[in-house]
Amino acid sequence: MNEKFEFLIVQLIEKGYAVLDDFIPEKVVKSLAENLHKRFSVGEMKEAGIGRSNDFQKKENYRSDVISWLDNDTDQEAERIFLDLIDGLMQYLNRTCYTSLKTYEIHYAMYKPGTFYKRHLDQFQSDSGRQFSVVSYLNDDWQPEDGGELVLYTNEGEITVLPKGGRIVFFKSDVLEHEVKTAHRERLSLTGWLKNG
Ligand code: OGA
Ligand code: MN
């Protein structure tokens, strides 16, 4: 796993973002997608608020996904495997990059057809603890015509990332603006942040 962590960090330093496939094992991806659907069917997937004090980022026209937070102490098997991977990445960063990260927060997200999340930064004025963003996908066989691309607005231009199952995207929360284009098919993800406070 250290090679994967190393790859993510080197890419982030060189390009300002990292994309890595097969970060989450296929069986775990499947099981996490099932958990998400269960949460949806019992009404636990809810509309997300936007950075509390930002009035202009009104929810209705800014993002239209639904989310549900993970419990960091979960003993659900797939969630535990995933959270341990994220914890491993956090520990590796602290050991090798002196990042002083303390915790993480992660939510499931579901984008129904027609939903999106407009261009934004993940670090809000009201939540400066978010240092690194980690986004993982739980989708089977995503095709370009399914939409729902993640667009990263980097110094070298726009990078388009398809939300392919098992893939992880990693970037600095305070500098990299990004956007989720309108999905044409149900789009499942886990979005998280590594925090220093
Ligand atoms: C977010 C976000 C990106 C994605 O939830 O803040 O930008 O690809 N998600 O789901
Ligand atoms: Mn974001």
Q: Is 149 in the pocket of ligand 1 (CB under 6 A)?
A: no
Q: Is 139 in the pocket of ligand 1 (CB under 6 A)?
A: no
| Of 37, 181, 160, residue with least CA distance to 108 | 37
Using alpha carbons only, give the angle 150, 187, 47 rounded to the nearest 5 degrees: 95
Give the chain's domain count: 1
Span from the CA of 80 to the centroid of ligand 2 (angstroms): 23
Question: Measured between alpha carbons, how far is 141 from 157 in angstroms, rounded to an integer?
Answer: 26
pTM of the complete model = 0.94
Question: Measured between alpha carbons, how far is 76 from 172 in angstroms, rounded to an integer?
Answer: 29
Span from the CA of 152 to the centroid of ligand 1 (angstroms): 10
Q: Which structural domain range is residue 6 located in?
A: 2-195
Q: Is 180 in the pocket of ligand 1 (CB under 6 A)?
A: yes
The confidence score (pLDDT) of residue 48 equals 83
Tokens of 106: 């992660």
Domain CATH for 92 = 2.60.120.620
Q: Given strand 177-180, what is the order of strands in its sheet?
A: 117-120, 177-180, 150-154, 157-161
Tokens of 114: 């027609």
Q: Tens of pLDDT along 161-180?
A: 999 999 999 999 999 999 99
Q: Tens of pLDDT along 62-116?
A: 899 999 999 999 999 999 999 999 999 999 999 999 999 999 999 999 999 999 9
Q: Which DSSP string corresponds to 136-181? A: EE--SS--GGGB--EEEEETTEEEEE---TT-EEEEETTT-EEEEP
Collect all residues with Cβ–Cβ distance below 8 Å to 187 and sequence separation of at least 6.
Answer: 110, 111, 115, 137, 139, 142, 146, 148, 163, 180
Question: Measured between alpha carbons, how far is 192 from 105 in angstroms, rounded to an integer?
Answer: 5
